[in-house]
Amino acid sequence: MSTGTTTAGGGAGGRSRGAVPSKGLHAGILDLGDSVMLGLASTAPVYSLAATLGLIVAVNGNYTPLILLLGFIPVLFIAYAFRELNSAMPDCGTTFIWARRAFGPWAGWLGGWGVALAGIVVLANLAQVAGQYLWLLIGDGSIAENKLVVTATGVVFILFMTLVNYRGIRLGEHVQRVLTYIQYISLGIFAVAIIFRIAGGAPEGQAFDFEWFNPAGAFADPGAVVHGVLLALFIYWGWDTCLAVNEETENPATTPGRGAVISAFVLVAIYVSVALLVMMYATVGTEGIGLGNSENQADVFLAMKDVVLGPWGWLIIVAVLASVLSSTQTTILPTARGTLSMGVHGALPPKFGEVHERNQTPGFSTQVMGGAAIAYYVAMSFLSENLLSDSISSISLFIAFYYALTGFACVWYFRGTLRESARNLWFRGILPLLGALILAAAFFVSAAQMWDPAYGDTQIFGVGGAFVSGVVLLGLGVVLAVACRFLPSTRDYFLGRQQVPRSQERTAP
């Protein structure tokens, strides 16, 4: 097992360059192409579009393409923050280690909790969708309505993807590549079919109009724009997975950051272009396959598949299934590596910092993340499916929290270098700060919306269930942090005592 030290490039706030201890992961096995692929796969683009496009259209109508662009802006700004911080500290703990260096141990711990929490909760959603879509492919699809079968299938999917990640990053990359090819080929066939139908004269379609990108028209209803941007904002989430595998990527200080920015740009191109095609063919109407039809909002592609592809409509089901399975695997990657880093740096018990010697993966952390996701999914499925749905809605709070924290950490950590060049001022200061402020605002606006008892499917003590779920789960992080503060194995982290990284204890003199 390697116990060397990687020196990162880039100064930090005028201080010394960061040295990142090797944790025993399989260094240098991923290249830029792999990094971009992981960033794209983690967002589950096919499923994200299918499940979100109708909701945005319901609020913003023909201005949906503009809303997708507006939602991309803070994401891009935070991607620059990730890139710059990674150049100085290419640690697989990402937000955890960066917030710790910028603001101290408590901020770091809670940042790591935000990453893990978002991953665990979204895995429940992905497992649910994967279970449903698998059974939609079989027979008449009626089994997809059986809660017990769907839940059991979702658990099997999480177990399988946990095992893939446990066995090694290269095996995971191979599985990921196959699933990515399946979803993008299927989506490409769907898009080409729509193009041919539009070219042939879709009877109820609508022609492209530059008005769809007119801010003046969209902002005639500012509340609708804010609501739509909040929906659009979080369909981009997931590109930061390529930063979590930075220690397993070639040139860890530069390649993952480039991969994050590239994948973010590719995502916005996919989302806007597919949205335009679907809008031109199906329109934003409220009848039939119209994107404004409330019956289609759960999955606009499912409503269109037979009309667009005829007997090949099952390809869209395959695309969504591949999309959620792909995202299931890549969601486990950052959560496991985040807790690995927390274990190595003393924020979690030493067991979390162990790397499987043969597989060169965070074995224990991977198992814990998979197990936590399964436990949460099963408990919520049988406690209340409506509460499960609302807790999934609260993911926006977790994402906004740790993205904003990363943006603020970037500005503060590099504050001493901002005047050295225009580049530093913009990419380490102005853009990350704007992204962080927008996301902080999104956090509070989302929380205010979730407070409304009419929001979502449940209410608890007269308050929206999504708000209660989000606050309780974020609050649990504070409780766990306090517990770790007093644990003998982790209290030194909170006291700021310097430690030899656990991955180097064998070779320390």
Q: Which helix (H) or strand (E) holds 486?
A: helix 465-486
Residue of 165, 169, 366, 203 whose CA lies nearest to 281: 203
Distance from C-alpha of 296 to C-alpha of 387, rounded to nearest angstrom: 22
Across 207-235, average pLDDT: 90
Residue 233 pLDDT level (bands cut at 50, 70, 90): confident
State the sign of the Cα–Cα–Cα–Cα dihedral 93, 321, 266, 207: negative
| Residue-wise pLDDT tens digits, 121-164 | 999 889 999 999 999 988 778 898 999 999 999 999 999 999 99
476 vs 207 pLDDT, higher one: 476
pLDDT for the residue 164: 95
φ, ψ of residue 234 in degrees (nearest 5) = -95, 0
Strands 5-7 and 459-460: unpaired
Amino acid at 192: V
Q: Is the pLDDT of residue 96 over 60?
A: yes
28 φ/ψ sector (left φ>0, alpha ψ -120 to 50, else beta): left
Least confident of 260-269, 388-397, 461-470: 388-397
DSSP 247: G
Residue 465 pLDDT level (bands cut at 50, 70, 90): confident
Locate 410 and state its tokens: 């970037």
Locate 372 and state its tokens: 């936590």
Only one residue has tokens 């993952």, namely: 256
| Residue-wise pLDDT tens digits, 300-332 | 998 899 999 999 999 999 999 999 999 999 999
Q: Where are the alpha helices (DSSP H) in 200-298?
A: 215-218, 222-233, 241-244, 255-282
Provide the Cα torsion 403, 404, 408, 410; round to 10°: 20
Locate 86 and state its tokens: 């990674």
Residue 257 pLDDT level (bands cut at 50, 70, 90): very high
In whole angstroms, what separates CA 480 from the centre of its chain? 23
Residue of 413, 416, 411 whose CA lies nearest to 434: 411
Exposed, middle or buried: residue 196 (CB in 10 Å: 0-12, 13-18, 19+)?
exposed
Q: CB within 8 A of 194, min separation 6: which ones?
A: 277, 278, 280, 281, 308
Distance from C-alpha of 350 to C-alpha of 484, rounded to nearest angstrom: 12
Only one residue has tokens 């993911």, namely: 395
Distance from C-alpha of 176 to C-alpha of 242, rounded to nearest angstrom: 13
Residue of 78, 79, 81, 85 whose CA lies nearest to 101: 85
Least confident of 4-18, 91-105, 188-202, 398-412: 4-18
Across 64-87, average pLDDT: 95
pLDDT for the residue 20: 55
Length of the chain: 509
pLDDT for the residue 19: 47
pLDDT for the residue 139: 79
Distance from C-alpha of 158 to C-alpha of 367, rounded to nearest angstrom: 11
| Residue-wise pLDDT tens digits, 187-208 | 999 999 999 988 887 667 788 9
Residue 101 pLDDT level (bands cut at 50, 70, 90): very high
Residue of 28, 31, 51 whose CA lies nearest to 327: 51
Q: Is the pLDDT of residue 217 over 60?
A: yes
Three-class secondary structure of residue 299 per DSSP: coil
19 vs 247 pLDDT, higher one: 247
Share of the chain above pLDDT 70, in %: 93
Q: Is the pLDDT of residue 251 over 50?
A: yes
| Residue-wise pLDDT tens digits, 9-57 | 334 443 334 445 578 898 889 999 999 999 988 898 999 998 899 989 9
Amino acid at 402: Y
| Residue-wise pLDDT tens digits, 477-495 | 999 999 999 999 999 999 9
Contact 109, 405 (CB under 8 A): no
pLDDT for the residue 455: 84
Residue of 398, 378, 380 whose CA lies nearest to 389: 380
Distance from C-alpha of 67 to C-alpha of 227, rounded to nearest angstrom: 10
Cα distance between the two ends of the chain: 17
Contact 39, 260 (CB under 8 A): yes
Helix 314-344 vs helix 363-383: crossing angle, to nearest 10: 130
**Radius of gyration, CA atoms only, the chain:** 22
Locate 506 and state its tokens: 């064998």
Contact 190, 308 (CB under 8 A): yes
Only one residue has tokens 């406690």, namely: 383
Contact 366, 166 (CB under 8 A): yes
The whole-chain average pLDDT of the chain stands at: 88
Across 371-384, average pLDDT: 90
Residue 7 pLDDT level (bands cut at 50, 70, 90): very low
Least confident of 14-28, 172-186, 323-337, 338-352: 14-28
Contact 11, 88 (CB under 8 A): yes
Only one residue has tokens 């703990």, namely: 93
Distance from C-alpha of 487 to C-alpha of 130, rounded to nearest angstrom: 39
pLDDT for the residue 232: 86
Q: Is the pLDDT of residue 506 over 50?
A: no
